[in-house]
Amino acid sequence: MIPFSILDLSQISDGSTISDALASSAKMAQTAEENGYSRYWLAEHHGMPGIASAATSLVISHVGAATQKIRIGSGGIMLPNHSPLVIAEQFGTLEALYPGRVDLGIGRAPGTDVATARALRRHQEAGVESFPNDIIELQRLLGTPDDSQRILAVPGMNSHVPIWLLGSSLYSAQLAAQLGLPYAFASHFAPELLFDALHLYRTHFRPSEAYAKPHTMVGVMGVAADTDAEADYLYTSMQQSFANLRRNVRKPFPRPDYDAVANLTPDEQAMIDHMLRFAMVGSPATIEKRLGSFLDQTQADELIISMPIHSVAARLKSVELFAGLPFMQKVQ
């Protein structure tokens, strides 16, 4: 048994508003907490009409205020988009508001298109190239300052917010191992290097002050419903969403539609099948069999689930059904 967590993008579903999306995130976090999930993370994306979590720290605070004990955090903050000092101040503030509950997951990707990334970043090239040094600076700003430290994060210093490294490549696995950080692999949409990255991370892990041994989290897309047929229908929303990304079509998160999926090109279908290789879709019995095999293969310490479902009621039902699986270690 391992902890289960939720990864949320505050999806703006077709027919709803940004305010609706943010209210749904709060309700989903409450449902996750009631059902014993360990963490509720939000992801930084920009310029996407189907995603409301661009101001990630604000949305984390929003779900923190709606809950009592579930850990809250980022999955992740795209650090090259920001100054480490700004992120230290934001997450130091979150830790002050919600003591002992905050995680800082950080990634290297822009979380958007090239033009928007240029608009976001201080230095377009240096942001990525300086990523390892920015992580070290962020750790320093969140830690106990020394006498020689001229720049202080207030709030931030002495908060010791736990940092996770997120990624979908061997680069991120190696960096997490070198820095002795916990590592979350984005297998929910980038499955290709999952097992190589986990092996590399575990093999080369260097113990740090915070973590004596490697600690891994893996991600899956999850759509649970009472029947396989209902889950398959709900899942057509995610399939359409990925096809829209490939086409560079920016829309709110689509309603379920079998006909739309039937009209995908062979290339689009192959891309979706590959990227969503580890999607867990079906009734609890179907998911239990598939997820059990996945967890056996990865030997992960934690699982995080993204639930791309158009209907809020169906999304909350999926949260409850996943919580009923025998692999979940519930937080009391």
Q: Which helix (H) or strand (E) holds 107?
A: strand 102-107
Burial of 248 (0-12, 13-18, 19+ CB in 10 A): exposed
Q: How far is CA 74 from CA 8, 38, 261, in A?
A: 9, 13, 31
* Closest to 303 measured CA to CA, from 278, 266, 286, 271: 278
Residues in the chain: 332
In-domain check, residue 66: yes
pLDDT computed for residue 118 by the predictor: 73
Q: d(Cα 9, Cα 5) in Å, to the nearest integer?
A: 14
pLDDT band for 88, please (50, 70, 90 cuts). Answer: very high
Domain carrying residue 249: 4-323
* Sequence-separated (6 or more) residues with CB below 8 Å from residue 213: 205, 207
Per DSSP, the three-state class of 220 is: strand
Give the DSSP letter string of 243-283: HHHHHT---SBPPP-HHHHHT--HHHHHHHHHHTTT-EEE-
Per DSSP, the three-state class of 206 is: coil
Comparing 21 with 81, the larger pLDDT belongs to 21
pLDDT computed for residue 36 by the predictor: 98
SS3 readout for 155-186: CECECCCCEEEEECCHHHHHHHHHHCCCEEEC
What are the tens digits of pLDDT across the range 237-281?
Answer: 999 999 998 888 889 999 999 999 999 999 999 999 999 999 999
In-domain check, residue 126: yes
pLDDT computed for residue 255 by the predictor: 97
pLDDT band for 124, please (50, 70, 90 cuts). Answer: low
Q: d(Cα 209, Cα 180) in Å, to the nearest integer?
A: 8
In-domain check, residue 332: no
* Sequence-separated (6 or more) residues with CB below 8 Å from residue 258: 233, 236
Residue type, 105: G
Comparing 171 with 248, the larger pLDDT belongs to 171
Structure tokens that stand for 263 in this block = 């009209």
Burial of 121 (0-12, 13-18, 19+ CB in 10 A): middle
In-domain check, residue 38: yes
Domains contained in the chain, number: 1
CATH number of the domain encompassing residue 267: 3.20.20.30
Note the pTM of the prediction, 2 decimals: 0.94
pLDDT computed for residue 127 by the predictor: 54
In-domain check, residue 27: yes
Q: How far is CA 240 from CA 134, 184, 233, 254, 271, in A?
A: 36, 26, 12, 7, 12
Give the DSSP letter string of 5-56: EEEE--B-BTT--HHHHHHHHHHHHHHHHHTT-SEEEE----S-TTB--SSH
**Residue range 106-111: average pLDDT?**
80
In-domain check, residue 289: yes
pLDDT at 70 over 90: yes
pLDDT band for 130, please (50, 70, 90 cuts). Answer: confident
